[in-house]
Structure 1
Amino acid sequence: MRVASLAAAVLMAVAGPALAQRAPDPVPIEEWSLEKVSAMGEAIYDHDRAAWVATDALLAHLADGARTAGVAGWIVVEDGEALRVRFLRNDGGVPASAFDVPVRNGRAGAVQIPTDPTLSAAEQARFRARQTAIDNIGRLRCSQNLNTVVLDDPDSDGWLVWLLTPMPESGAIPIGGHYRFRISADGGAVLRRDQLSNTCFFAERPPAEAREAMLFYTQIVSKTPVETHVFLSIQNQLTLVIMADDRYFSVGGRRIADITEMVNRR
C-alpha cells in the first residue's frame, strides 16, 4: 500500500437506510489477538464457500428443488485436507445426513448419498450448536436470512458459531450485522454472544475501474478489526481500512497491519 495514495484510495462506505432512532450504546465484545482474528476469518471464508458451492452442486444434481424440501440444514466437517458438507434431514427427531458433498480447494465434488447417514456425536453437537445460535440471535437483524458457520473453538472444547448477514441483491457488502457465539461442547447452551457491529452497515462496492480502492469503516465495539472483516476482505478481494480505538488497520485478506503511524504521518 503506497502512503501517498491512501487518502485518495479510501472510499467511504455507504450505510443502509437511516435508522429512525438513535443506535443504542455499543456493547464491547470479547477481544482476540490479531493472529486469531486472521485465522478465524480465513476459516469462516473456507467453510462459507464450501457451503454455497456444495449447495449449487446439490441443486444441479437433483434438478428438482422440491426434492430438497426435506433438507433441515447442513454442517461442514473436516475430511482430511478437504471439507465435507453434510445436508441433513430430520429422521424421527434425530438429524441424519441425506446428502454429502466433498469440497476441495473451493470446488465441489460429486454428490453422494451416504450408506450410513448416522451423524457422530460430534456432528450432532455441531448441528445443535448451529441451531442454538440461531435461536438466540440478538436485537440486531439485518437480513431475513442469515448464513451460518460453525468451527471448533481453539480455546476450549466448545464451538464458535457465526450468524452472517448475506450480501443483498444490490451487491452491497454487509460489513455490519454479524454475530459470534461461544457454544457449549454439547451444542445446547450459549456461553457468550457477541454482536460484531452496533448497527446494520452495507458498503457500496467500489467501481471496477477504481485502482487500489479500499473501504473505510469505523469499528466501535472492539479495539481491533474482527474476523468478519478478514472474511469479507477475502470474499470480495478488497482491502478494508478499519479505524478502531483511535488506531487504523488495513485488512488485506488474512493479513492485518496496524497502519496508524503511516496514516498520522500524512
Structure 2
Amino acid sequence: MIRIVALMLATACALAPAPVLAQQAPSMSIKELHATTLAAARGKLIRAYDQAAWHGTDAMFARIQHPEDVIGGWIVDGPAHAPVLVFFDRNDADPHAVFVVEFLDGKIVATRLIGEGDDASLSPERKAMIAARERGIAAWREEKPLYCADKPPNTVVLPPEQPGEPYLVYLLTPQVKDRAWPAGGHFRAEIAADGRVLAKRSFTRSCVTLEAPADKDAAALMVTHPLDPVPTEIHVFTALTSGMTLYVGAGGRLWVVEGTRIYLADPPKKR
C-alpha cells in the first residue's frame, strides 16, 4: 500500500533545507539520470497540456453553444511554454478543427472559432495524435485499470519523443477538491503510429490523494512508490500542479521532486 503523509515545514527543515540537499545529494547512476531526466520532461509537458485543456475549455464554452453537439474531443501540441489546444469535430473518419486556443507562458494569446469557408483541416501529425488518443482510451477501457474518480479522466497525448517512437496517451484522475491532488488512478498507454498498443501501465496499486494540511506552513508532501526505482512523470506533474516539494520513497531511497528538479535526498544504502 502506498502511504501518503504531508510534511510540515519543521519536518522538511529537519531533513535539511532544499539548497543543502541539492549540495549534499549523492550522484545518480547514468540509468537513474536518464530516467529522471525523461520523467521531468514528460511531467512538464503533461502539466502544460493539462492546463491548456482546462483553461482552453473555459474559452471554448464561452464561444460555442451546446458544444456536446459538435465537439468530439481535443488534443494539445507544441512546446510546454506555448501549447496549442485544438478542439475537433465528431467526424471519426476525418476529424476537422472546430476551435483553436493558443497559449504563451500560461496565458491565452489567441482563440479562433472555425467558421464556414475557413480552413478546418488538421495536419497529419494532429490526426495521428487524435487517432492515438482514441486508441489509448480504448486500451484504458479494455484494461479496466485502477481509477479513482466518478468523473471522466483527463486525457493528455504526448507526441513521439524521437521519430518512430510511440505516442504516450495518459488518462489522469482529475482533481476534484481544492488543495488535494490525486496520486492514484493514473494510466499510460504507448501507441505506435499504426495503432498498436505497445505497452500500458498504471502508476499506483491503490487510490491515494495528497492533501495539503490546513496549516499554511506545510512545506512538502510525501509518497512511497514501490512500482519504480525512481520518481516518474506523474510525480513531476503532481509537484508542478500542487506547487509543493514532493518527497518520493522509491527503490529504497528518498528522492526530492521540486518542480522539474529530481534529486536524491539520502545516500545509497550499503549492500
TM class, shorter-length: 0.7 to 0.9
Distance 1:33 1:4, change over 3 A: closer
Q: CA deviation at 1:68?
A: 4.5
Matched, 1:203 2:210: yes
CA-CA distance at 1:3 after TM superposition: 8.3
What residue is the counterpart of 1:134 in the other structure? 137
TM-score, normalization by structure 1: 0.81
1:255 and 2:257 equivalent? no
Taking the TM superposition and a 5 Å limit, the aligned residue runs for 1:14-53 are 33-53=35-55
User: In the aligned structure 2, how far is the partner of 1:33 from the partner of 1:220?
Assistant: 16
Q: How far, CA to CA, are the matches of 2:43 and 2:67 in structure 1?
A: 33
Larger deviation, residues 78-87 vs 200-209: 78-87
Matches of 2:253 and 2:92, distance apart in 1: 53
Q: Report the residue type matching 2:209 in the other structure.
A: F
What is aligned with 2:5? none
Structure 2 matches for 1:107-122, cutoff 5 A? 107-114=107-114, 115-122=118-125
1:106 shift after superposition: 1.1
From 223, 234, 244, give the equivalent of 1:217. 223
Q: Distance in 2 between matches of 1:124 and 1:117?
A: 12
Check conservation: 1:61, 1:111, Cα contact below 8 A. no
Give the secondary structure class of the aligned counterpart of 2:58. Answer: helix
Task: Name the Cα RMSD after superposition.
Answer: 2.7
Q: CA deviation at 1:166?
A: 0.8
Instruction: Choose which of 187, 195, 198 in structure 2 pairs with 1:191.
Output: 198
1:148 match: secondary structure: strand
Q: Which residue of 2 aligns with 1:77?
A: 77
The answer for unaligned runs of 5 or more in structure 2 is 1-8, 18-31
In structure 2, how many angstroms separate the alpha carbons of the residues matched to 1:81 and 1:205?
27
CA 79–162 in structure 1, closer or farther in 2 if over 3 Å, else same: closer
Secondary structure of 1:118's counterpart equals coil
Q: Which structure 1 residue ranges, 5 or more long, are not aligned?
A: 10-30
Structure 1 residue 123 displacement after superposition? 1.1
2:171 matched residue in structure 1: 163
Share of identical aligned residues, percent?
A: 32
Structure 1 residues 90 and 6: CA distance shift in structure 2, 3 A: same
Q: How far is 1:109 from its partner?
A: 2.9
C-alpha offsets along residues 39-64 of structure 1, whole Å, 9 cap, x if unaligned? 111111111111111111111234x4
- Higher mean displacement: 80-89 or 47-56: 80-89
- CA change 1:79–1:214 in 2 (3 A) is closer
1:248 CA displacement: 0.5
| Secondary structure of the structure 2 residue equivalent to 1:109 | strand
Q: Which residue of 1 aligns with 2:244?
A: 238
TM-score by length of structure 2 reads 0.79
Report if the CA contact (8 A) 2:148-2:185 is conserved: yes
Go from structure 1 to structure 2 and tell me whether the alpha carbon gap of 1:110 and 1:165 turns closer, same or farther (over 3 Å shift).
Answer: same
After superposition, the Cα gap between the structure-2 partners of 1:76 and 1:3, relative to the gap in structure 1 and judged at 3 Å, is same
SS in 1 for 2:207: coil
Q: Helix, strand or coil for the counterpart of 2:204?
A: coil
- The answer to whether the 8 A contact 1:148-1:164 is kept is yes
Secondary structure at the counterpart of residue 50 of structure 1: helix
Instruction: Determine whether 1:153 maps to 2:155.
Output: no
**Compared with structure 1, are the counterparts of its residues 92 and 258 closer, same or farther at alpha carbon in structure 2 (3 Å cutoff)?**
closer
1:90 offset after TM fit, Å? 1.9
- Tell me which amino acid in the other structure corresponds to 1:160: L
The Cα shift of 1:179 comes to 1.2
